[in-house]
Homo-oligomer: A and B are copies of this chain.
Amino acid sequence: MKSPISDANLEKLAAVSINTGLNLKKGQPLVITAPLNAQPLVRKLTEQAYKAGASLVTTIYTDEADTLARYQYGSDESFDVAPGWLFEGLGKAFTDGAARLAVAASNPMLLAEMDADKVSRANKAQSIAAKPAMQPIVTFQTNWNIISYPHVEWAKLVFPNVSEDEAMQKLADAILKISRVDGPDPVAAWAEHDEALHKRADWLNEQNFSALKYTGPGTDLTLGLADGHKWVGGSKVARNGVRCIANIPTEEVFTTPHKDRVDGTVSATKPLSYNGTLIENISVRFEHGRIVESSATKGESVLKKVLETDEGAARLGEVALVPHSSPISQSGLLFYNTLYDENAACHIALGQCYSECFDNAIKTDPEKVKASGGNESLIHIDWMIGSDKIDIDGIKQDGSTVPVFRKGEWAS
């Protein structure tokens, strides 16, 4: 398989993922999950991991052709089934100390033409079965990292007006630039960027806001923060003691909203790509944390289906701040890929919260997370509400306000 990224750049990307992202420890096993088309990157990641002292690298590949075969030939019952044994095994690997690396490189429109009910059932079965594998990840029991690799269908979607080869080249270049591996010293670039994100998170934690107030076109939202919430961004120390940067790229500082304390109206500033459906111009109204009205100019029925997934699907699990000047936002591109799009702008996420975004006394106890306002759901879907027209104020515990964002940029 020929890679659209040169061997030297592939090696840089892999090295940043293994050494800066995962910070893989000598003697640590590594489990990679990846689509087959990412094989050239996986081979480099495997090399870099062994060079870093990995005890064993195991890759679980998925093949989009096999996914499509299921929709084409599978029986109706097949769409409620998921490989629980595999996710349980992955969960055991992570709990026993393996690092986790996910390569995100899929065709965002793969299932666009498929039966929406089957897609939704298959996703639900998968989400439920995947819990044992995701639990050690969302609770940071081990060091983990997600990184991207070009996919031809993805490239054509992001760059629709050029040839296939050119689109792949442009996407490859964008991935390298946005992943901060295009400079002479990616490790130093990441260290500097990480420090900047930590400074922002520290400032927000010092302020200890009880809520954020968003104002902008179509948006007038008061978003209460969970009790004992903690802002995080950049690297963090997983519970196995390893400092890792989970997402490459990452531009956000984020925390947990209170699931019952969100009120007002908010409008999306970018389309949401969800399983091959582009949901455009989302606008929703919250009452006591729950979405009570929702609309979209395109894909509204899919949006409403998503909100009905379970009780927590119409409540928020994450709030993230990203300046409009972030490299992804400045690229002006819609990537149809959460890892990229969520780092383009301020966003909120429907569904499951991250226990990591709580004080130490809370985050290790699921009951305390819940009691502090942490939302629970099978889904976690980010959508963009930031732009250069958004102002955000922090509301302190005494009711006073502090400017946080002005016209999409940090106020100070």
Q: Which residues of A contact B (CB under 8 A)?
A: 1, 26-27, 29, 36, 39, 42-43, 46-47, 50-51, 53-61, 63, 65-66, 69-70, 72-75, 77-78, 81-83, 85-86, 88-90, 92-93, 96, 98
Question: A85's contact among B46, B78, B83, B96, by CB below 8 Å, is which?
Answer: B96
Q: When the two chains form their complex, are residues A60 and B60 in contact, meaning their CB atoms are under 8 A apart?
A: yes
- Jot down 14 A-B pairs with beta carbons below 8 A, ordered by A: A27-B75, A43-B65, A47-B69, A50-B74, A50-B75, A50-B78, A54-B78, A55-B75, A55-B78, A56-B78, A56-B81, A60-B60, A85-B96, A89-B92
CB-nearest residue of chain B to A86: B89
With A50-B69, A50-B70 already in contact, the answer to whether A56 and B83 are too (CB < 8 A) is: yes
The smallest beta-carbon distance between A79 and chain B, in angstroms, is 9
With A81-B29, A85-B92, A93-B85 already in contact, the answer to whether A66 and B73 are too (CB < 8 A) is: no
Q: When the two chains form their complex, are residues B70 and A58 in contact, meaning their CB atoms are under 8 A apart?
A: no
Q: When the two chains form their complex, are residues B39 and A77 in contact, meaning their CB atoms are under 8 A apart?
A: no
Complex formed: what's the CA distance from A65 to B1 in Å? 12
Complex formed: what's the CA distance from A46 to B66 in Å? 6
Question: A47's contact among B29, B59, B73, by CB below 8 Å, is which?
Answer: B73
Complex formed: what's the CA distance from A77 to B55 in Å? 7
CB-nearest residue of chain B to A60: B60
Q: When the two chains form their complex, are residues A27 and B70 in contact, meaning their CB atoms are under 8 A apart?
A: no
The smallest beta-carbon distance between A362 and chain B, in angstroms, is 30
With A56-B82, A85-B98, A88-B92 given, can you name 4 additional A-B contacts, CB distance below 8 Å? Answer: A46-B66, A50-B73, A57-B66, A85-B96
Complex formed: what's the CA distance from A1 to B61 in Å? 16
With A78-B50, A85-B93 already in contact, the answer to whether A43 and B27 are too (CB < 8 A) is: no
In the complex, what residues of B have CB within 8 A of residue A69's CB?
43, 46-47, 50, 57
Complex formed: what's the CA distance from A27 to B76 in Å? 10
CB-nearest residue of chain B to A88: B89
CB-nearest residue of chain B to A75: B53
Q: When the two chains form their complex, are residues B66 and A54 in contact, meaning their CB atoms are under 8 A apart?
A: no
In the complex, what residues of B have CB within 8 A of residue A65's CB?
43, 46
Complex formed: what's the CA distance from A255 to B245 in Å? 56
The smallest beta-carbon distance between A107 and chain B, in angstroms, is 16
The smallest beta-carbon distance between A141 and chain B, in angstroms, is 14
CB-nearest residue of chain B to A40: B65
CB-nearest residue of chain B to A91: B85
Q: When the two chains form their complex, are residues B29 and A57 in contact, meaning their CB atoms are under 8 A apart?
A: no
Q: When the two chains form their complex, are residues A83 and B75 in contact, meaning their CB atoms are under 8 A apart?
A: no
Q: When the two chains form their complex, are residues B75 and A85 in contact, meaning their CB atoms are under 8 A apart?
A: no
Q: When the two chains form their complex, are residues B86 and A58 in contact, meaning their CB atoms are under 8 A apart?
A: yes
CB-nearest residue of chain B to A32: B66
In the complex, what residues of B have CB within 8 A of residue A78's CB?
50, 54-56
The smallest beta-carbon distance between A88 and chain B, in angstroms, is 6
For the complex of A and B, 6 pairs with smallest distance between CB atoms? A89-B89, A50-B73, A85-B93, A56-B81, A85-B92, A85-B89
The smallest beta-carbon distance between A18 and chain B, in angstroms, is 12
With A36-B39, A57-B66 already in contact, the answer to whether A27 and B77 are too (CB < 8 A) is: yes
Complex formed: what's the CA distance from A92 to B69 in Å? 25
In the complex, what residues of B have CB within 8 A of residue A85's CB?
89-90, 92-93, 96, 98
In the complex, what residues of B have CB within 8 A of residue A63's CB?
39, 42-43, 46, 59
Q: When the two chains form their complex, are residues A59 and B66 in contact, meaning their CB atoms are under 8 A apart?
A: yes
Question: A51's contact among B36, B47, B73, B98, by CB below 8 Å, is which?
Answer: B73
The smallest beta-carbon distance between A174 and chain B, in angstroms, is 27
The smallest beta-carbon distance between A27 and chain B, in angstroms, is 6
CB-nearest residue of chain B to A51: B73
In the complex, what residues of B have CB within 8 A of residue A39's CB?
36, 63
